[in-house]
Structure 1
Amino acid sequence: MVRKATLAVAASVGIGVLPVAADTIEIHNTMSTGGSEEAALQKFQELIEEKLGDDFEVNIYLNSQLGSEAEVLELLNIGQTQMALTGGAFMGQYAPEYNAVSVPFVLPSWGAVEHYIMETESGKKMQEIAREKGNLVYLGPQKRAFRHMTANKPINTPDDLEGLPMRMPQIPLWIDVWEELGIQAVVIPSSDIYLAMRTGQVEAHENSLASPYTRQMWEVQDYIIETSHLSFPWHWVASAPWWDGLTDEQRTAISEAAEEARQHGTQVENEKDEFYREALIEKGMEFIQVDQAPFREKAAPAIERAMADMADTVQADIEASIEAASE
């Protein structure tokens, strides 16, 4: 937090911020310790020490130590920090016309998500715009487990959602899609989810399996409905002003380390997701597998609204990504 305070003081008195030492790579993430995010960053740290130990020291900052996601994006933009494992806010901020990754019920598997970002014209355009507008060098996505529903009653079809009070984050796109499905959206902070369920303010929520596990939701919810409606990945990015000052050898080594680290983080995320599943079953929660097609069909008007302003290449690239992932 010292660095954050220094930035605030510098801004308030109108002076420049002292640059970070050239041999330091600061890398940031908003999550706390113990997750796949930390595992990936530690792997990156080990790999850089092996590849470029004489050139760089990697300092890991978790739990928003350097600021919020938006604040760190600004630090990257102006070259005052070097790297981040960041969420998807920059895609909506810089390239919303290509941001199909953030639309629920569109990309049904991690393979499709990864292919869309890394292999399609739309994904590559999104990366280009992020560099042009945000000074971000894109190095690759890292999996966050797919999101599902929890509920205090069985959900088998979209009809079972009608009028269901469901906790939603303050993301208008997501709210629109779920309200199209029939739920009554209730926006409350994540810290209040358990209490809201215990008091009956809400009867359902959506998130990855880490949420019901860490919040001990088996005490207030009975069912997990495997909607698999969204994977909202992490993204490895670097500051372009810093990146452009590196040698070709350094850029290659850092790119290779980030690639191996993101794959390691994805593997750890898969392992943790399976652990949560088994633990929740042991705690008595019942998993319900649903056919996603009727949910996607009912949500279609909201999905079409979300896609209406997107670039012409997006729909074809979504279809190509789904096909590539199924091969």
Structure 2
Amino acid sequence: MNLRTGLLSRTALAASVALSLGLVATAQAQDVIEVHNTMSAGGSEEAAMLRFKEIVEERSDGSFEVNVYSGGQLGDEVEVLELLNLGQTQMALTGGAFMGQYAPEYDAVSVPFVFPNWGAVEHYIMETESGQAMQQVSRERGNLHYIGPQMRAFRHMTSTPAINSPDDLEGLKMRLPQIPVWVDVWEELGVQAVVIPAPDIYLAMRTGQVEAHENSLASPYTRQLWEVQDHIITTSHLSFPWHWVASAPWWDGLDEADQEMLTEAVHEARQHGYEVELEKDEFYREGLIENGMTFIDVDQAPFREKAAPAVERALADKADSVAADIEAAIAATEGQ
């Protein structure tokens, strides 16, 4: 090898190394944001997370890469909350478990028959003293930075017999999840609560172990409950929202401009999720009617009145501000 050839070879090698190092530096400069959710793909949750990904990657000019994980790919809610607490992952669209774990004294949104519409739920969380306190103590106790709630469709009843008033619930065998406050409220209404796992709902109805259950319309539609149930009673007793949260240690390490951009991206994404959820809820309603289920649009006031003693028990141990903030949230959104 002559001197000229050797110099060219070394120059080419140096250029190759420099290019490789440049690529590595670029890859390292691109921050990865993992966003977790436990629901399977195809729902309004995934739609919102994908919209978030689109917005962030576009507005950050590629400095952020967003990876969306549906179906609990990296753990259930509790496991992901722990990862967020430790700063080992970045974000989640999570359920209400964190409020029970970190801020139970401000958790009114998990109690049935409290909020009559989605606007009241959102107002309570985002605008009231109790909602702000919930966000603060979740940060102090769980290292969670709270960004905002995302609507899930209101839950209703399905039933074999027709239900027109709370009197018709007396002795009705109703499937409920293992959530004590839900069981207590429904038993106040007169049902005989039967706690069984969600995958067993269809069989339990087919065999007569239960005659009713409660959930959003996705449940009777995806489980084809028209084969074992006749009625849907629009009790609208609970909207159990998703919540956009971030790991506080990670969030606090971002600069202010990035925090503002990500916050705005979340607000746009959860609005998109809201719209998709409404579309899907209407789709389920039409599909259930087409398959023979009858909707009974009951007067909800008597149900709320009869459930009131159990609701009051559930709220009795909450923070002093909660009762007034519930009333304020309902008043601020009356007519929605």
Q: Shorter-chain TM-score category? A: over 0.9
> Deviation string for 1:9-56 (max 9, x for gaps)?
xxxxxxxxxxx9971000000000110000000000000111113311
Aligned mate of 1:62, from 67, 70, 79:
70
Aligned to 2:136: 128
Q: Could you tell me how far 1:311 is from its partner in structure 2?
A: 1.1
Q: Determine if the alignment matches structure 1 residue 186 to structure 2 residue 194.
A: yes
Aligned mate of 2:304, from 286, 289, 296:
296
Q: Determine if the alignment matches structure 1 residue 321 to structure 2 residue 312.
A: no
Q: How does 1:104-123 map to 2 (within 5 A)?
A: 104-123=112-131
Q: How does 1:242-281 map to 2 (within 5 A)?
A: 242-281=250-289
Aligned mate of 1:150, from 145, 158, 175:
158
Under a length normalisation based on structure 2, what TM-score does the superposition of the two structures give? 0.90
Aligned to 2:83: 75
Q: Determine if the alignment matches structure 1 residue 89 to structure 2 residue 97.
A: yes
Q: Determine if the alignment matches structure 1 residue 167 to structure 2 residue 206.
A: no
Cα distance between partner residues in 2 of 1:258 and 1:275: 25
Cα distance between partner residues in 2 of 1:257 and 1:35: 19
- What code does the residue aligned with 1:36 have? S
- What code does the residue aligned with 2:72 have? S
- What code does the residue aligned with 2:273 have? G
Under a length normalisation based on structure 1, what TM-score does the superposition of the two structures give? 0.93
Aligned to 2:315: 307
Cα distance between partner residues in 2 of 1:119 and 1:267: 21
- Percent identity (aligned): 75
Cα distance between partner residues in 1 of 2:232 and 2:173: 16
Farther-moved stretch of structure 1 (53-62 vs 163-172):
53-62
Aligned mate of 2:228, from 195, 220, 234:
220
Q: Could you tell me how far 1:161 is from its partner in structure 2?
A: 0.5
Aligned to 2:23: none
SS at match of 1:192: helix
SS at match of 1:140: strand
Q: Could you tell me how far 1:301 is from its partner in structure 2?
A: 1.3
Cα distance between partner residues in 1 of 2:57 and 2:318: 42
Cα distance between partner residues in 2 of 1:210 and 1:283: 14
SS at match of 2:50: helix
Q: Determine if the alignment matches structure 1 residue 286 to structure 2 residue 294.
A: yes
- What code does the residue aligned with 1:317 have? D
Cα distance between partner residues in 2 of 1:105 and 1:128: 26
Aligned to 2:204: 196
Cα distance between partner residues in 2 of 1:47 and 1:76: 22
- What code does the residue aligned with 2:42 have? G
Cα distance between partner residues in 2 of 1:95 and 1:30: 21
**Structure 2 residues without counterparts, runs of 5 or longer:** 1-27
SS at match of 1:326: coil
Cα distance between partner residues in 1 of 2:243 and 2:218: 19
**Structure 1 residues without counterparts, runs of 5 or longer:** 1-19
> Deviation string for 1:63-117 (max 9, x for gaps)?
0011010000000000000000000011111111111101100001000000000
> Deviation string for 1:119-162 (max 9, x for gaps)?
00000100001000001111100000000000001101111001
Aligned to 2:34: 26
The answer (yes or no) to whether the contact 2:31–2:65 under 8 Å persists in 1 is yes
Count of equivalent residues: 308
Aligned to 1:99: 107
Aligned to 1:16: none
Summarize the Cα distance change of 1:182–1:131 in structure 2 as closer, same or farther, 3 Å threshold: same
SS at match of 1:186: strand
